[in-house]
Structure 1
Amino acid sequence: MSKQLKKATFAGGCFWCMVKPFDQWDGIHGVVSGYTGGHTENPSYEEVKSGTTGHYEAVEITYDPSVIAYEEILTIYWQQIDPTDDGGQFHDRGDSYRTAIFYHDDEQKELALQSRNELAESGKFKDPIVTEILPASPFYPAEEEHQDFYKKNEVYYKQDRAKSGRDEFIEKAWGEQV
């Protein structure tokens, strides 16, 4: 019996910090760090960081929709980012660190728009929600050293995440929901 797996793609600042929150859920079959949304084919980490490729740092999630719904994945996503910051995320600044949801079909587009509208109307944030919702474009996996960074470089990952301000923001905005 083959499973009908789907893709979900999100930009939420540093891709190192976007893998673990999704990796731990049943129904998630893989989370790949990479680059999308730009104009350079097969960009390198250094090229993307330079801001010349138009790419976002992003994660591509492979999931089983019979186990975890796209709506649930969207909820997890919103709870990892500051959706009001259009200059990057936390201590990572620049266009490659902006937030975006990249939809793979019309259903994902509609669900993403609906979830963004609900968040905007919730009053949780006083500033406008600036996270873009864009059509998926070619996704280029990042170099191997960036894959599963939180597992391979646990100490450095924890240090970088701690100094970023991400966890303090998440705790203040979402409390124990994450």
Structure 2
Amino acid sequence: MLQKATFAGGCFWCMVTPFEDLPGIHGIVSGYMGGHLENPTYEEVKKGSTGHYEVVQITFNDEVFPYKKLLDLFWPQIDPTDADGQFQDRGPQYRAAIFVHNESQLAEATASKEELIAGSRFKKPIVTEILQASTFYEAEEYHQDYHKKNPKHYKEDRAMSGRDEFINQNWK
């Protein structure tokens, strides 16, 4: 059965590649969720005043690729202790969050967060929120598969972000 999973992890460009080309993943769309403005544009969201997060929405077959495996891939892409954005991307639109679509996802996301809190990986508190999914607004076409359309810029931006260094130091 196909389901939706929605994750915010800073810039949505960097949140596509960890989930693509996996069995049971039927699509990944960059977009916006959680704000108060209908049909926001990238220009509006990036100002940080709409309340939206940059997110990726994943369509997946839970029987082939369970939600728990998506959570296991999500956490190592972020700094779960940063409440003000992710890496070089600062502001409320770049906060990390898990948007749940049903009670089962809520239970699994909560358990995964509690497991991370109980571990000793981070000295600072885990602040990544678990929120109820709301209306998803698809980002502009030029943001979709950005890493494929603009590989040079994507690689340069990702290298400068500090994301990979953090992942290697804290998750590997």
Q: CA deviation at 1:66?
A: 1.1
Q: Distance in 2 between matches of 1:27 and 1:148?
A: 18
How many angstroms does 1:172 deviate by?
0.8
Corresponding letter in the other structure for 2:3: K
Match of 2:121 among 99, 120, 124: 124
Letter in structure 1 aligned against 2:170: A
User: Residue 15 of structure 2 aligns to which amino acid in structure 1?
Assistant: M
Aligned AA for 2:101? Answer: H
The amino acid across from 1:56 in the alignment is Y
1:26 Cα deviation after fit: 1.2
Aligned to 2:17: 20
Paired residue type of 2:137 = Y
Unaligned runs of 5+ in 1: none
Cα RMSD after superposing both structures: 0.5
- Aligned residue for 1:101, secondary structure, equals strand
Deviation of 1:52 after TM superposition, in Å, equals 1.4
- Separation in 2 of the partners of 1:75 and 1:24? 16
4+ runs deviating over 3 angstroms: none
Look up the equivalent residue of 1:101 and give its one-letter code: I
Could you tell me how far 1:83 is from its partner in structure 2? 0.2
Question: Which of 125, 145, 152 is the equivalent residue of 1:148?
Answer: 145
Percentage identity across aligned positions?
62
Q: Distance in 1 between matches of 2:22 and 2:117?
A: 26
Paired residues, number: 172
Report whether the alignment pairs 1:80 with 2:88.
Answer: no
The CA deviation at 1:24 is 2.7
Deviation of 1:122 after TM superposition, in Å, equals 0.7
Residue in structure 2 matching 1:35, options 9, 32, 36: 32
Partner in structure 2 of residue 99 of structure 1: 96
- Range with greater deviation from structure 2 (21-30 or 59-68): 21-30
Q: 1:134 maps to what in 2?
A: 131
User: What TM-score does the superposition give when structure 1 sets the normalisation length?
Assistant: 0.96
